[in-house]
Structures are given as structure tokens and as C-alpha cells.
Structure 1
Amino acid sequence: MLAFATSAVAQGSAELAKELANPVSSLISVPLQSNFDHDIGPLDQGRRYTLNIQPVIPVSLNEDWNLISRTIVPVINQEDVFPQAPEKTGLGDTTQSLFFSPAEPVNGITWGIGPAFLLPTATEPHLGTEQWGAGPTGVVLKQTGGWTIGGLVNHIWSFAGSDNRDDINSTFVQPFFAYTTPDAWTFTLQAESTYDWENEQWNAPVAFLVAKLFQVGQQTYQIQAGPRYYADSPDTGADNMGFRLNFILLFPAGD
């Protein structure tokens, strides 16, 4: 009986881990994503720590459709990135995405589409764009067995903001491949590429991440960590290797 109960708990954990691999699942989560990068700036001497606070909140519109809210609020500390600003700490610009998604997969495919917004919430000029932006976003994926394969894209144009800053015309592309084991380990390979059409430059980190779901008392968590390699980056962007540590709080439906 104990073995059966343990197996059922493990199976439930694996299903939760698979839901986390789906950006538009009906699962409330609060990722606290830490990113460590170096060799940044015109002299390749800077380093940056970014804590992305990324709440994901699904709302059931009716029995057929969900609305998934995904917010990214960056908290940044950087040193020696710009000679005129040796150290800066504060908020970066916020990205808000809304996905309208069918409540159930269609022919085994899960998808969502909607608007994305860039909000100039940076507390320091060097930490943000000083631009308001908007554009479309979408995600499509398929889950079969332990595999999750898909991609997320958005494109943002600026429509208002400081005349002294560059306009924004950028495309974000995130293909992802994840495998979740029966005991709730998840292995993910993903790229997070942004193409700046104004300056014709790529910023393309590729990450390999390992995650484990676990429970403490009644609260469920996931810890995820792994290296990131910059396959391409702007002249003032990060180079070489970076690192990510992600701590996620989960609130499954019914909690």
C-alpha cells in the first residue's frame, strides 16, 4: 500500500513537472530566475546579475478558453558595463504577455496567441530602453510521453518614449526541447534569441537546464539550474558562458 502511494505521488509530481514545461498550462507559478553574465560592455569588463520575477497566472474564460498572463519584471545589478556608470542597481523594463489558449490540446497540439507589451519601468536609464512597446506573441508545443517540444515567439515595436533613445523593433524566438522523467527530473535545451532589426544584431544565448520538482509541507517547488552559452551577441552584450538558477513556487489548481 505504501509503495502504491509513493508511486502515485511520484506520478503526480512528474505531471506537475510536465505542466511547468508548458508555458500556457493551467498552473499558477512564480519563477524567481537568477541570471549571471559577464564580459559585458564595450570593453568586455562588465558583469550583470538579473533576477527575473515571472509570475504566470491562468484565468479560465469559459470551458473552452483560458487566458494566460506571463509577466517578467527584471531586477538588475551591473558593474563596469558602461564607463560612465560603473555600478547600477534597480528595476529593468517589464514585459507583459497575454496568451489566449484552448483549454484542451487540439489534435495533440497546445497553442496560445495574444499581445505582448514592453513597459518602461526601469529605474535607471542604463537599465532600460525608455520606450513603450507592443506587438504579437505566440506559443505552440506538443507533449508526448515525457517530451515537450515547442517554441515561443514575440515581436515588439516601440510606439512612444524618449526621443533620445533608439526605437525598438525586435523579434524574440525561444525554441525548447524538454524531457521529464517519471521521478520529476526535467532536462531542457533551449535558445532565447533576440534579433534587433534596427541594428541588425543577434543576442542568442543557448541554455541547458536541469530541474527537480519537490515538496516541503504543503508547498510544491522546482529548482532549475544550468549553464548558458552566448552563440552570438551584440558588441556591448554578454559573451562566453553565463549561468542560470531558477527557483519556482507552484500553486496547482485546487490549492
Structure 2
Amino acid sequence: MKKVFKPIAIAVGLLSGSCLSLVASADGDLGAAATNPVANLVQFRIQNQYAPESYNADSWSNATLMQMVAPLPSIADKFDALQGIVTRTTVPFVSTPKLDNGINRKNGLSDTQMQVFFVPEKSPKKTVWGIGPAFTFPTAGDNEFTGSGQWQAGPAAVAMVTPVPGVQLGALVFQQWDFHETRSDAKDVSILNVQPIIFKHFDGGWYIGGPDVPQTYNWETNDWTLALGGTVGRVGPVFGKPMQLYGGVYYNTENNDEQVSSEWIFKVNFGFLFPK
């Protein structure tokens, strides 16, 4: 049990200590922008997802994610119909669980994901939305445990409404199909990803939200992963620099036969914000 809870305690302690070091109240507009997937705000996030146990593998797993959100104003300004173009790129480094069949833990890069959203100039009142392509690059190489061994692509869309000040509701959705394999044993890929957008912002930069991980449906195996839970975060200055800090706890309700998947997930995010 100590092995399970020690990393969680360290992560929670770091998050709590950082939050307490905030020396000024957060800007409400900056907080709303940080949780808006297509805001005109450059962000660099370091995230860690720890799962103390996995379905069909009595062992822990971990994923460290480097995520960059980068608007492209110089390109968007050339098109009158566009409010902006926003790219979201995620590079994971994972540690897989030790399997019951004797296969030991594997560490390495996983596949890199990238979405590009074209945000129109005109949209319904209190609404923002965007569409574009989504890509997955097989940066795991020949490691069959950490990556798919497939180049993937598909459509992506995001929509978010602010019905009342401080409340954000919507979803970021993208579908991926494989189109070129890098390993002869690579499996076909057809996965739907649905990431809910549910946030309530409060004074002082604090906010609460729904799960900050995608819900996925695998069309090849007809299996869902449903991560239920929530996040608590704050946006504001840390040592004089604007940051987004949050922690989340999620529970995957789906045990899909012999598929290995995380059961409980504990997530911590340290995000650096670069407003204009």
C-alpha cells in the first residue's frame, strides 16, 4: 500500500504547496482561457497520470505527458472567415504495467497526438467552436507495448458554450483511423475520443471540472473506457509567472475482458501560460 499511495501523496503535496504559493489573485479571463481548448493562449503543460492498479494486470502504470497548445495567428490573419487556428500536441512517455503472463514493465515514448482546429470568426452567442484534422504519429517506434505502430488520422471538432458567466460546457471529439503501419504485427485502429468540457470558475482563479481525460470507444473491439471523476484547479501567478495548476481523480468503470486498462487514475497538471 505504501508503494501505491506514496507517489499520490507526493503529487498532491506538490500541487497543494504550489497553490499556496500563489501571491496574487488570478485573472478571471485568463482562467476561462486556460480551460478553453481553442483560446488564443499559448500553453505548455506537464501532466502526470498515475494508475495504482489496472484491469487484468495487478500492477501500476504511469504516463507523463508534455502538451503544447499553440495558436497560429500569423496564418489565421490571412483568412477573413477565421478567428484563429489552434494546434494541440501531446507527447507521452509511459510505463506499462507488469502483465500476469510474465511480461515485465515496458518504458518509453508512446504515440504523439496532434489536433488542429480552425475557429470561425462568426459563431452563435456565448459559443465557440472549431473543426480540423487530428493526427497520431507512431513515435513509440518498434515498442509494441507503448505504441500502436500505426500512422493515424481523422476529423476533430470542439464546441463550448458559456450559458452563464463562469460556466463552460461542451466537448472535444476526434476520430482516428490507421492508414500506414510501421510494424507487421500492428493492429488496425479505429478509435473515437470524446473529452467532456465541464467547468465552473470561482473568484480567486479557482475552478472545478469534470474528467480531464478522453472517454474512448474502440470500434475494432466494441469496447468503451469511461473515466468518471473530477478536477480541482487554480489559475494565477506562481513566483510571478501565470500558471494553471490542477489535480484530478478518475475511475474507469469498464473492465473489458482481457484488455489491460487503468482502473483508478490520479492526475496532476503544471501548466505554463503565455498571455499576450
TM over 0.5, yes or no?
Answer: yes
- Cα deviation for residue 104 of structure 1 reads 6.4
| Deviation larger for 178-187 or 98-107 | 98-107
2:42 paired residue number: 28
- Cα deviation for residue 40 of structure 1 reads 2.4
- Cα deviation for residue 87 of structure 1 reads 1.8
Q: Which amino acid aligns with 1:243?
A: F
* CA RMSD across the alignment: 1.9
For residues 215 and 99 of structure 2, the distance between their equivalents in structure 1, rounded to whole angstroms, comes to 21
| Deviation larger for 94-103 or 131-140 | 94-103
For residues 104 and 216 of structure 1, the distance between their equivalents in structure 2, rounded to whole angstroms, comes to 35
2:4 paired residue number: none
- Cα deviation for residue 171 of structure 1 reads 0.5
1:177 paired residue number: 198
| Deviation larger for 91-100 or 155-164 | 155-164
Matched, 1:96 2:132: no
2:215 paired residue number: 193
2:69 paired residue number: 56
2:269 paired residue number: 246
Q: TM-score, normalised by structure 1?
A: 0.89
Assess, with a 3 A threshold, how the Cα gap between structure 1 residues 36 and 217 changes in structure 2: closer, same or farther.
closer
CA contact (8 A) 1:116 1:156 kept: yes
For residues 45 and 22 of structure 1, the distance between their equivalents in structure 2, rounded to whole angstroms, comes to 36
- Cα deviation for residue 21 of structure 1 reads 1.2
- Cα deviation for residue 26 of structure 1 reads 0.4
| Deviation larger for 20-29 or 207-216 | 207-216
Matched, 1:47 2:67: no
Assess, with a 3 A threshold, how the Cα gap between structure 1 residues 218 and 79 changes in structure 2: closer, same or farther.
same
Assess, with a 3 A threshold, how the Cα gap between structure 1 residues 91 and 215 changes in structure 2: closer, same or farther.
same
- Cα deviation for residue 38 of structure 1 reads 3.4
Specify every segment of 5 or more residues in structure 1 that has no aligned partner in the other structure, as ranges.
Answer: 1-8
Give the alignment partner of residue 130 of structure 1, picking from 116, 134, 149.
149
CA contact (8 A) 1:14 1:182 kept: yes
- Cα deviation for residue 85 of structure 1 reads 3.4
Secondary structure, aligned partner of 1:54? strand
Matched, 1:81 2:103: no
CA contact (8 A) 1:192 1:206 kept: no
Give the alignment partner of residue 109 of structure 1, picking from 112, 116, 127.
127
Q: Which amino acid aligns with 2:131?
A: I
For residues 132 and 85 of structure 1, the distance between their equivalents in structure 2, rounded to whole angstroms, comes to 26
Assess, with a 3 A threshold, how the Cα gap between structure 1 residues 239 and 56 changes in structure 2: closer, same or farther.
closer
Q: Which amino acid aligns with 1:50?
A: A
For residues 27 and 118 of structure 1, the distance between their equivalents in structure 2, rounded to whole angstroms, comes to 23
- Cα deviation for residue 176 of structure 1 reads 2.1
1:158 paired residue number: 178
**Kindly, what percent of the aligned residue pairs are identical?**
27
Q: TM-score, normalised by structure 2?
A: 0.82
Assess, with a 3 A threshold, how the Cα gap between structure 1 residues 239 and 72 changes in structure 2: closer, same or farther.
closer
Assess, with a 3 A threshold, how the Cα gap between structure 1 residues 78 and 210 changes in structure 2: closer, same or farther.
same
CA contact (8 A) 2:34 2:244 kept: no
For residues 109 and 100 of structure 2, the distance between their equivalents in structure 1, rounded to whole angstroms, comes to 17
Secondary structure, aligned partner of 2:145? helix
| Deviation larger for 77-86 or 136-145 | 77-86
1:17 paired residue number: 31
